[in-house]
């Protein structure tokens, strides 16, 4: 049986491919378990500077495999509850990882695939690819962190519009609404995601990771507590080899050479 998640590494960039092309990379329990385990491993792999995630074949991810869930003896409600546990672990790993995580949206991203795409730090989208919320059209509520990330990206009113009407979102509209970072020609999303990853890897991964952590936590932190965290994190960064190198490079009017470490 072919692996439902494929992993490759080159030049410090990890490439993770969802590998159920015959099902448009809809995820079942096996896939989300492998995905969560893979992301947990990559988070602590010092040889990896950034992660690119895409789908094998024509789709990015069509969400949960509803056909298999309906066939479960215990019923879809129990199946979805169990599936969401591992899916949410994968989403949490993406948001808590101190390395850049980039989606290469090569085709349809719907349901859980849509929510997962929103959890990434950056998203490169193929011109003909489509985003679709999809949950509510199937009588379901959004999961995968979508109710958290969507209104923070597009605002409350737009998020409710996307949820209520569930219209397919073109790449052009996705870019206008800030749902993706860049739109590229078909067949180039993965290449663009790798280019972004390599560019990010040249910067201070420690600085990026600490800023990502601050932003992720900011939604649940009061203002005075947040600026207190900013103060201590700023001091911590200045004491890190990357911070010391960056400050020296600024004074010496040269480009800094960072460690390439996220911790």
Percentage of the chain modeled with pLDDT above 70: 99
From residue 87, alpha-carbon distances to 28, 55, 115 in Å are 9, 16, 10
Helix (H, G, I), strand (E, B) or coil at 32: helix
Asked whether residue 123 falls in the same domain as residue 237, the answer is no
Q: Residue 173's pLDDT band (boundaries 50, 70, 90)?
A: very high
Residue 144 has pLDDT above 60, yes or no: yes
> CB of 56 within 8 A of CB of 18?
yes
pLDDT of 21-79, one tens digit each? 999 999 999 999 999 999 999 999 999 999 999 999 999 999 999 888 888 878 889 88
Between CA 78 and CA 238 the distance in angstroms is 49
Q: How far apart are CA 175 and CA 182, in angstroms?
A: 7
Which of 183, 201, 219 is a domain's end point? 201
Q: Count up the domains in the chain and report the number.
A: 2
Does one domain contain both 176 and 226?
Answer: no
Q: Are residues 105 and 222 in the same domain?
A: no
Residues 6+ apart with CB under 8 A from 132: 108, 109, 110, 111, 114, 166, 167, 168, 169
Domain shared by 238 and 138, yes or no: no
On whether both 158 and 218 belong to a single domain, the answer is no
Read off the tokens for 155. Answer: 């605002």
What CATH number should be reported for the domain holding residue 98? 3.90.226.10
**How far is the C-alpha of 162 from the C-alpha of 170, rounded, in Å?**
12
| 124 plus 11 within the same structural domain | yes
Residues 107 and 186: their CA atoms lie apart, in Å, by: 9
Domain, as residue range, for 184? 5-201
Burial 120-140, CB ≥16 within 10 A → b, else e: bbbbbbbeebbbbbbbeeeee
* 213, 221 Cβ separation under 8 angstroms: no
pLDDT at 130: 98
Average confidence (pLDDT) over 157-179: 97
DSSP for 88-152, written as a single string: HHHHHHHHH-SS-EEEEE-S-EETHHHHHHHHSSEEEEETT-EEE--TGGGT----TTHHHHHHH
Q: Looking at the domain assignment, is residue 95 inside a domain?
A: yes
Q: Which residues pair with 17 in a beta bridge?
A: 6, 54
Find the range with the poorest average confidence among 2-6, 182-186, 204-208.
2-6
d(CA 234, CA 228): 10
Indicate the pTM of the whole model.
Answer: 0.93
Q: Which band of pLDDT confidence, cut at 50, 70 and 90, is reported for residue 146?
A: very high
pLDDT at 1: 46
Q: Which two tokens stand for residue 39?
A: 């992301």
Number of Cβ within a 10 Å radius of residue 248:
11
pLDDT at residue 221 in the model:
92
Give the pLDDT of residue 2.
Answer: 66
**226 and 125 in one domain?**
no
Angle at 71 between CA 66 and CA 73, to 5 degrees: 130
Residue 126, pLDDT above cutoff 90:
yes
Residue 67 pLDDT: 86
Domain boundary among 158, 175, 201: 201
């Amino acid at each position: 049986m072919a692996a439902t998640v494929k992993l490759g590494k080159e030049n410090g960039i990890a490439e993770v491919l969802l590998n159920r092309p015959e099902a448009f990379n809809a995820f079942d329990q096996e896939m989300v378990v492998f995905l969560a385990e893979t992301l947990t491993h990559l988070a602590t792999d010092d040889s990896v500077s950034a992660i690119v995630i895409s789908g094998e074949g024509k789709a990015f991810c069509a969400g949960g495999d509803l056909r298999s869930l309906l066939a479960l003896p215990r019923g879809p409600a129990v199946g979805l509850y169990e599936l969401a546990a591992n899916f949410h672990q994968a989403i949490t790993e993406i948001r808590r990882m101190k390395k850049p995580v980039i989606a290469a949206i090569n085709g349809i991203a719907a349901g859980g695939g849509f929510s997962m795409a929103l959890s990434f730090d950056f998203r490169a989208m193929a011109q003909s690819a489509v985003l679709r919320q999809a949950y509510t059209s199937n009588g379901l509520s959004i999961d995968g962190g979508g109710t958290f990330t969507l209104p923070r990206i597009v605002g409350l009113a737009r998020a409710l519009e996307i949820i209520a009407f569930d219209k397919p979102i073109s790449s052009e509209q996705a870019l206008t609404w800030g749902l993706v970072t860049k739109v590229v020609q078909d067949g180039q999303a993965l290449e663009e995601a790798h280019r972004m990853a390599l560019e990010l890897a040249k910067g201070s991964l420690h600085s990026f990771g600490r800023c990502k952590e601050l932003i992720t936590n900011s939604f649940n932190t009061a203002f005075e507590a947040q600026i207190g965290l900013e103060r201590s994190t700023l001091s911590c960064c200045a004491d890190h080899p990357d911070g010391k190198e960056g400050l020296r490079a600024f004074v010496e009017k040269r480009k800094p050479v960072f460690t390439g470490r996220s911790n």
